[in-house]
Chains A and B, each alone.
Chain A
Amino acid sequence: MIDNGLLVQMLLGALLGLSVYLPLAAGQLSLATPAFYAVGGTLAALLSTRWSVLGATAAGGFPVLSLLLELVLGGALAGTLALLVGRLVLRLRGIYLAIATIALVEIVRVAILNLPFTGGAIGIFSIPQPFTDASGYLLTALILLVLTGWICQRLDTMPLGRAMAAIRDDELAAGCMGIDTTRVKLTAFVLSAVVAGTSGALAAHFLNTWNARQGSFDVSITTLAFVILGGSRAWLGPVVGGLLLTALPELLRPVGDVRLVLFGLVIVLGPVLAPRGLVSPELLERLGRWGSPTREQKP
């Protein structure tokens, strides 16, 4: 059944779903989330196991404050990488952008596999634990998710979020309306990377070991499935998708390992059967005002 450990995984899934959602909200299909997730996780794994200043104890304990520092650093490193790479790849459109982001995922994966200090195929293990059980991770992941969700919610009522929606609708027209499309797309891309990098840093501690497989092309597929199932028109969509699709395979475990078949089916049938996903703006409107832009009142 659902225990705290699974709940943490579900929340991490929701966070990664939001990381795919953010560029998509600006019309950019980026599959680079695993690369940033891997970068954040690797940084946290390295810092906590190699840098004694952070205060890892011989018994495998770790100060919570140091964890928070790592979350910030993991997000910052991923964000910086996104800033550098994004300047180059965001000039590309559609298929080209998707391919370039897949290339980034592969390059990061091979780098982590081959760099002299990342532990090769085995990776980095015995990552110290800031919490004695999963409930600490649960709380941290929940705070991260609430924070990210709040940012996404605010975006809807901000020029930046509206500019993203405009670019998604018609990038060319948005440019002619004075929107610096490159800058807006880059901002969305960096935000996405920060979310993924921070999640990776937390996941590295939670999983206790970290290797190149954590950021493989598989993760591109699973996180994309989160967004396709949940819908990409409202930020609650990827959250619901991430929670559901992380929990479902675990609950279906007795049936056998059908996880990826399930994700594949979601991706192939979703756009055909339910183009707007489970959580559409119309649905949110019907459910209440929360999670979708509020209706306008004439002043």
Chain B
Amino acid sequence: MSTALLEVRDLSCRFGGLMALDGVSFSVASGEIFGLIGPNGAGKTTLFNLVSGLTPPSSGSVIWRGAAITDLPPHRRNRLGLARTFQNLRLFDDLSVLDNLLVALERHSRSSSIDGLLCTARHRQAERQRREAAWQLLEELGLSALADRQAGTLAYGDRRRLEMARALGTDPALLLLDEPAAGLNPAEKEGLCALIQELRQRHRLTVMIIEHHVPLLMRLCDRMAVLDFGVRIALGSPNVVRRDPRVIAAYLGGDASGETP
């Protein structure tokens, strides 16, 4: 697959005696929305941690546009165009909403710390650009009224959206969303679905998404992978995955297209 944006090859991760991931391989093509499902403890978040560089794999490799990035630290991967959100939200709670975005927008600056100290024209211009970009993102995600608020004081749904805005601030090619719909009501979930599609268009994103709400994911994704006990048990379009007997078995014999087990 020469067109793959991201490829994981034979990825394994062991914590003590527990095999959190066991030889998982798949690739994500540029522009698609790729879903990741599986029961609790299947290794979905571990996979995200391996891809974003927070956890080193026990074996296997992560390949980005054809080059191995397995040994790169998280910030280097981010600069290559890989951004993520967290299942249990890791905002900079003490910072304002706007500052959360400005942190993410840092790399677009051409001015050095010396420029910043002396407040040179270059620094002022870079700050202005950063602020414009930040306001645009706030606008896009409907957060502009909250720009001054401390991130830790926001309502849950706003925090979810701020985390997405922050990830988008780093101008990613691939966005990893870890259960973005968790804790949202059905109407908010619908809104999120539309938002993800819209953001994909506007930012030319590839999206990888972990979600427990299977029907939502089936509708949203182009392709998906199913993990169970660290092993990839299915891969393909929602229609293929839905009918896979191993997937149905993994979901306690239930129908994978039904409600969340």
List A residues at the B interface (Cβ < 8 Å): 151, 154, 157-160, 162-163, 165-166, 168-170, 172-181, 187, 233, 293, 295-296, 298-299
Contacts and interface: CB of A to CB of B under 8 A. Distances in A.
A210 B75 CA distance: 44
Contacts of B73: 175
B71 interface: no
Interface in B78-112: 78-79, 83-84, 86, 90-96, 98-99, 102-104, 106-107, 109
Contact of B75 (A162, A168, A181, A233): A181
B147 A176 contact: no
B259 interface: no
Nearest to A169: B92
Contacts of A176: 52-54, 74-75, 78, 83-84
Nearest to B104: A177
A296 B148 contact: yes
A298 B99 contact: no
A168 B92 CA distance: 9
B92 A179 contact: no
Contacts of B86: 173
Contacts of B78: 175-178
B117 A154 contact: yes
Contacts, number: 103
Contacts of B79: 178
Contacts of A168: 94
A163 B127 contact: no
A166 B92 contact: yes
Contacts of B148: 295-296
Contacts of A158: 113, 116-117, 123
Given A162-B102, A176-B78, A299 B135 contact: yes
- Which residue among A151, A157, A175, A181 has the maximum number of chain B CB atoms within 10 Å of its CB? A175
Contacts of A162: 95, 99, 102-103, 106
Nearest to B144: A298
Given A175-B73, A293-B96, 19 more contacts: A159-B106, A159-B116, A162-B99, A165-B94, A166-B95, A166-B103, A169-B93, A169-B95, A170-B92, A170-B93, A172-B74, A173-B86, A174-B92, A176-B52, A176-B83, A177-B169, A178-B79, A233-B94, A296-B96
Given A157-B127, A178-B107, A296 B83 contact: no
Nearest to A176: B74
B178 to A, nearest CB: 11
B206 interface: no
Interface string B36-70: 00000000000000001110000000000000000
B159 interface: no
Contacts of A174: 92, 103
The 9 closest A-B pairs by CB, nearest first: A158-B116, A178-B78, A173-B90, A169-B92, A175-B74, A159-B106, A166-B103, A177-B104, A166-B92
A178 B117 contact: no
Contact of A173 (B91, B107, B135, B147): B91
B166 interface: yes
